[in-house]
Structure formats: structure tokens, C-alpha cells
Structure 1
Amino acid sequence: MSITGKLAVVTGGASGIGRAVCQALARNGFRCVVADLNLEDAKKTSDILEKTADGKHSAVEVDVSNGSSVASLFAKVKEFHSMPANVVVNCAGITRDGFLLDMSETQFDQVVNVNLKGTFLITKHGAQEMIAAQIPGSIVTISSVIGKTGNIGQTNYAASKAGVVGFTKSAAQELAKFNIRCNSVLPGFIDTPMIATVPEKVMSKVEGSIPLRRRGTPDEVAEVVHFLASENSSYMTGSIIEVTGGLFM
């Protein structure tokens, strides 16, 4: 299965890991649909791709937690590119941190709706399009090492990301008969806008506990996603890959 002509939908593509994934895929011959709630920044990503990589790229606004919005996204993919996506990468994610005893129902629901329900909706619609077109595909979800270990102040985030792992393993078993692979990546502490609010004192302590003694870069995660999206991982499905610098081994 050649990567030539492949079309990838990347949610959360406006910044951070999502933008890096778009760049890694585009460098390797993928056309990318940059899908994000922030359409302005999604267009910036698309513009970067147009300037640095061959192929027709596009930006689409989407609320991954809303089924109608997700259905509209995949309809626009076919409208813009005259084919369904055969690669889908779930990078959209948010945090609403707080201690358990102080956390509101709204804080919990917001995180679960984007991180877990959003992964469900994007994966479901993406897989349906691949099956209808009878094309093989690759779906990659972005979980987190926090989903494996838990973290103080992040019960909602940890629960959502642990759910993504279980979801991915189950989806992999269901979709294999259609030659659609599903794998997940668990980043550790990556230098993205999501960790920008972490106090430097806390980050220094965290970095000291990482065997490689530094936080990761979005590009380092993106290269693993590219591997899972490409034919180089053709016999991998239901796999969970940690990109953590050795943290929590």
C-alpha cells in the first residue's frame, strides 16, 4: 500500500502536536486536511504546508465533540479532495485541570467530550468513509502517558486518555476485517501550548525525573505518528507506543 496520493485528516492540527503531525505527513507525500475548532490557526497550518510541501492541503473548522460537525467535516473532505481520507489522526485534546474535590461536572464533561467522545466520533466517521469506499486505512489516536499513570489535578484528563487506549484496542479488533488499522501514541511531557501553563518549578522537577532529562518536541511525536500512518507499520494494529523519554517506564 503506497503512501503516494494518501489523504490525511488531522484533528487538532492548528497547533502543537497536531501541526507537527501535519508537517511530518506532508513532507512524506500526504495531502492534509487540517481540522480544528480554531479555523484561523488551522488555515495557518495549511498555509505552512502549501509553502513547504507539495500537494493540495486544506483547513476545515470542526467541533470534534459534536456529531453533526464531524459529519460535515468528512463531507467537506470529499468535496474538497474528491476522495475520502484513508488516514485519520486524532490529535484534538484539551485540559481543564483541578483537584478532584473541587472539580466541577462541567470541567469533567468538557474534557471527556473532546478527548474521548471526539476520538470516538472522528474514528467512527472516518472508518465509515473508508469502508464505503472499500479502501484500506490507518487511524491513529493520541492518548497520553497520564492515562497510564494518572496525575494529581487531572482526574478528568487521565480518565479521558485511558479511555482512548481502551477505545483504540477495541476499534482495532473490529476494523481489522476491513483492513483498517488503529494504533495509539502516548506522549509524555512535550513542549506544546498545553503544558505552557505548568509552573517552571514543576516542569524542572518533571524533567529531572525523565531519563533523557528533557521534555520532548512535537516533531518527535509526529514522526511516530507518521510511521503508524504509513505502510511501514502495515502489520501493526491495536499497538500502544509511548513517546516519553523513558518517563514512567
Structure 2
Amino acid sequence: MTSAAPRPVALVTGGSSGIGRACAIRLGESHEVWLTYHHGQAAAEAVVETILRRGGQARALKLDTGSAESIHAAHAEFVGAQQGRNMPRLDALIANAGTFGDGYRFFIDMEEKEWDAVWAVNAIGVIRVFKAFRELLLPGGTVVNVSTISAPLGAIGYKSHGHYGASKAAADAFFEAIGALYAAQGLRCINLVPGLIDTRMLHDHFAHELDAYRGAIPMQRFGEPEEIARLIARLVSADPKLPIGRIAADGGWLQKGWQRIQAPH
């Protein structure tokens, strides 16, 4: 009796909550999942237990995407754990980790340290993660960069969100270039643009204006993390020859055309 073929391997950054958590659990049905966390170790381990309980394979990996040293350490741990295989592998990288900053304030009033941290995680960090794991993804891997609707359209709403959209737009530009550079080696780079998704981040930063934002969405509701996770799972498992660039999952905002939301202060 032959043993089962090894599962493809997926790395989900920011996998302890929100979209990352939902994505890790969904991919756990078909992949060996490594999900990363920065501060939320207990939450990450709970996700691992959920995947294992459902018959999947998963491990939590400490990773601060804002730190080059942390990224190198995580890469070493990932490769070291696969030494029993003929060759370490990574079939899918879900670049989901991101930060909005420490609180709700006008971006121009942010402290320099907080400003730098947002860019270190959202723009520079995701590229450092790709660079670290690049040799495991080529040829034929898939990268899904989880962006935001404020990246292609500018700051959602008004004054407080410019730093987040700008940093995410920078990552989008990087991955567009990476996709073109490595397309001949079979690497698929996808910029996935979610709309407003019902996560803790949404409620932390938009609590006083949720009705205004919900009303601006053609579908008249926020997206669910599980909906984005299902889409990511389909993209990862799609025909590797299928050309994919940017995909929006935003409830129809991009399709209808952008209008700045006049939300309350």
C-alpha cells in the first residue's frame, strides 16, 4: 500500500485573525499550512488546533514582517522543519499580514515611529518575505498579495486612512513587477483587492462610520473573511497556466465607480 502524496505547502502571513485566520483554515483542507503571527501566539495556536482537528496539517510560525531579522529567522525555521524531504517546498504564499497603526487619527498627525512601522510592515515587509522565500516558490508557485480597496482608489473616506492605502498600493506595485519578472518561471502573482471585510480592524477603525460605508457598497453589506478565504483557495488551486493579475472582491465598488464617502467625523 503506497503512502499518500504529500500535500502542497502554503504560508499565510498574519494567520491568527481576520482574513488570514479564515484563509489558513480553508487552505487546511487541501494544504499543509504554515500560519504566521507576531503578538497573537495563543490565537495562532488555536487556528492550528482547528486545522488539526479537521484532519489537516498546520504549524504556527512567529514572524514580524516589519523586521528583517524576524523574517530570516522564520525562513530558517521553515526550511529546517522540512529537512526530511528531498527538497524544501512552498507552493503558495498568502501575503496577508498588515497594520493600520495604533489608533484612529489623521495620518498627518501620526508619530514618525508609527508611520515608519506601517510602511515597514505593509510595503517593505511583504517584499522581504517574498525575497526570503523566493527560491522555494520558483518555479511554479503562487503568490496572493492581500491588498485593500483603498490602494487602487486612494484613501477610503477622507483624512485618516491615507497612510494605509498608500503603503498597500506600494506593495501592489512591487507584486505587479514581481509577477512580470518571474512569469516565465511559472510564478503567478495575484493582487487581491478586498472591499470592507467584517473584521476587528474594520470595527476598530471605522466604528463611528460603519453605516456610511455599508450604504456605499452596492451589495449593501460588508464582506466576510470566509468569502475571501474561499476565493483565495480557488485562486491557489486554479490552472497554473491561467493568467491572473488583479482581482477585486469588493461588493461592486470598483465596478460602479468610486465616490468619496462623506462619513461623519
Same fold flag (TM > 0.5): yes
Cα distance in 1 for residues equivalent to 2:15 and 2:206: 25
- For structure 2, the 5+ residue unaligned runs are 256-265
Q: What's the CA shift for 1:248?
A: 3.9
Cα deviation code 1:56-79 (max 9, x no counterpart): 210010111222211221222233
Cα distance in 2 for residues equivalent to 1:212 and 1:130: 36
Q: 2:53 aligns with which of 51, 54, 60?
A: 51
Cα distance in 1 for residues equivalent to 2:71 and 2:16: 16
Q: What's the CA shift for 1:201?
A: 4.5
Q: 1:211 aligns with which of 218, 240, 248?
A: 218
* CA root-mean-square deviation: 1.8
Cα deviation code 1:131-178 (max 9, x no counterpart): 4xxx42111111100111222211110111111211111000111122
Does the alignment pair 1:228 with 2:250? no
- SS of 2:94's equivalent in the other structure is strand
Q: 1:86 aligns with which of 60, 82, 91?
A: 91
Q: 1:173 aligns with which of 169, 174, 180?
A: 180
Cα distance in 2 for residues equivalent to 1:4 and 1:185: 27
Does the alignment pair 1:102 with 2:109? yes
Cα distance in 2 for residues equivalent to 1:32 and 1:162: 27
| Map of 1:128 onto structure 2 | 135
- The answer to whether the 8 Å contact 1:33/1:60 transfers is yes
Cα distance in 1 for residues equivalent to 2:95 and 2:172: 12
- SS of 2:145's equivalent in the other structure is strand
- The answer to whether the 8 Å contact 1:74/1:84 transfers is no
Q: Classify 1:233/1:177 alpha carbon distance in 2 versus 1 (closer, same or farther; 3 Å).
A: closer
User: Which portions of structure 1, spanning 4 or more consecutive aligned residues, are displaced by more than 4 angstroms?
Assistant: none
- The answer to whether the 8 Å contact 1:165/1:240 transfers is no
Q: What's the CA shift for 1:200?
A: 4.4
| Map of 1:189 onto structure 2 | 196
What is the TM-score normalised by the length of structure 2? 0.85
Q: Classify 1:4/1:245 alpha carbon distance in 2 versus 1 (closer, same or farther; 3 Å).
A: farther
| Map of 1:143 onto structure 2 | 147
| Map of 2:17 onto structure 1 | 15
Higher Cα radius of gyration: 2
- SS of 1:13's equivalent in the other structure is coil
Q: Classify 1:221/1:242 alpha carbon distance in 2 versus 1 (closer, same or farther; 3 Å).
A: same
- SS of 1:84's equivalent in the other structure is coil
Cα distance in 2 for residues equivalent to 1:84 and 1:56: 15
- The answer to whether the 8 Å contact 1:77/1:84 transfers is no
What is the TM-score normalised by the length of structure 1? 0.90
Residue type of the alignment partner of 1:88: L
Residue type of the alignment partner of 1:149: L
- SS of 1:216's equivalent in the other structure is coil
Identity %, equivalent residues: 26
- For structure 1, the 5+ residue unaligned runs are none
- The answer to whether the 8 Å contact 2:248/2:254 transfers is no
| Map of 1:247 onto structure 2 | 253
Q: 1:22-61, aligned counterparts within 5 Å?
A: 22-27=24-29, 29-37=30-38, 38-52=40-54, 54-61=55-62
Residue type of the alignment partner of 1:145: I
* Range moving further from structure 2, 105-114 or 13-22: 105-114
